[in-house]
Chains A and B, each alone.
Chain A
Amino acid sequence: MTRALDQAWRSDREHVERITLAAAVIATVLERAGMTATLVGGGAIEFYAPGAYTTSDLDFVVEGGSREAIGAVLTSLGMQSRGRHWVRDDLFVEVPGSYMREPADTFEIGPLKLRVIRKEYVLGDRIIGYRWWRYTGYGLQAIDMLAAFGDNLDDSALRAHLRGEGAEDTYDVLLGFMASGAPVTAEALDALWHERYR
């Protein structure tokens, strides 16, 4: 599978395909070793809405294995341990957690399986980051995903997730902002936050 990872990552494919295939190879190898890996964070956003201002790191929540066991699998793929992370070329893998509480969806790509946090939850976390910590980049990512997903969104699941975190109204605020056609800038998102929550 090391060759498959190289084929995926060291290719001329567009970024979202490299991310998706590399993540699928890693997740599949971890699964074959008895662990369940779920792509979360920016990698999940890139998978669901390519181009939504993300970076090249892959964050996995890995259940069912110790850090040593995870490390052994990633090392077998030619990755090098670097502090709490693993790297190969310009691919950076982090395992921020070992418990996945949100639902996830599994995508099959030939013999590979990629489990990704459900899009309503990765979107919800960006809305929560904007609401409670005023991170304007997260507000932008949330609006970008809302535009990309359109009607293809489980509104009730998203609202329930946000309600549990006290951020359901922020969803409506961002929807309204998106529909206004206004320029999406740091200043505008900051002003919107202050107008509503200050």
Chain B
Amino acid sequence: MDVDRLDLGGLRAMWARRREAAAPLRARTDPSEMTRPPRDPDEREFLRARGGGGPFSEEERSGWREWRNREEKPRVDHEQQKKSAPHAVPEQRPGER
């Protein structure tokens, strides 16, 4: 398979439309000092060594990891859970301030 012969026309058109739509917002955006969750240390080291870490600074905040890791499990039906075990569902997330 020759990747250079693949037709990306439809995707390129989509990307061009979306770039154009986002351009005014990007012109008034300054991402410095913005925050994101911490990366895995291996990933951080790998990206940093290649200058690819992106513009955001990493900050650990309580509860993020637990929420992200929920992806491993099927969704809990919170409404159903509230009915059957109301105390099991916190009203506020750990990260709320």
A residues adjacent to B (C-beta < 8 A): 1, 4, 7-8, 11, 16-17, 20-21, 25, 42, 48-57, 61, 82-85, 87, 90, 92, 94, 96-101, 107, 109-112, 128-129, 132-140, 143-144, 147-150, 164, 166, 178, 181-187, 189, 197-198
CA distance A49 to B26 in the complex (A): 12
A97–B71 Cα gap in the complex (Å)? 7
* B43 adjacent to A94 (CB under 8 Å): yes
CB distance from A184 to the nearest CB of B (A): 4
Query: Is the CB–CB distance between B25 and A132 below 8 Å?
Result: no
Cβ of A56: which chain B residues have Cβ within 8 Å of it? 47, 50, 52
**Residues of chain B whose beta carbon lies under 8 Å from any beta carbon of chain A:** 1-8, 11, 15, 18-19, 21-22, 24-26, 28-37, 40, 42-43, 46-47, 50, 52-56, 59, 61, 63-64, 67-68, 71-75, 78, 93, 95-97
A57 to B78, CA, bound (A): 32
- Give the docked Cα–Cα distance between A187 and B31 (Å): 10
Pair A134/B40 contact, Cβ less than 8 Å? no
Hey, which chain B residues are within 8 Å of A85, CB to CB?
Answer: 40, 42-43, 46
Most buried by A among B18, B33, B54: B18
Contact indicator B6/A112 (Cβ below 8 Å) = yes
- Which residue of chain B has the shortest Cβ distance to A138 in the bound complex? B36
Name the prevailing secondary structure of the A interface residues: mixed
B residues in contact with A107, CB < 8 Å: 11
Residues of A within 8 A of B74 (CB): 99, 101
Chain B CB within 10 Å, residue with most, of A61, A132, A133, A185: A133
Q: A137-B55, A186-B31 are in contact. List 11 more A-B contacts (CB 8 A).
A: A49-B22, A90-B50, A96-B68, A101-B71, A109-B6, A109-B8, A112-B6, A129-B64, A135-B59, A136-B33, A186-B35
Q: Is the CB of A99 within 8 A of B72?
A: yes
The answer on a CB contact under 8 Å between A144 and B22 is yes
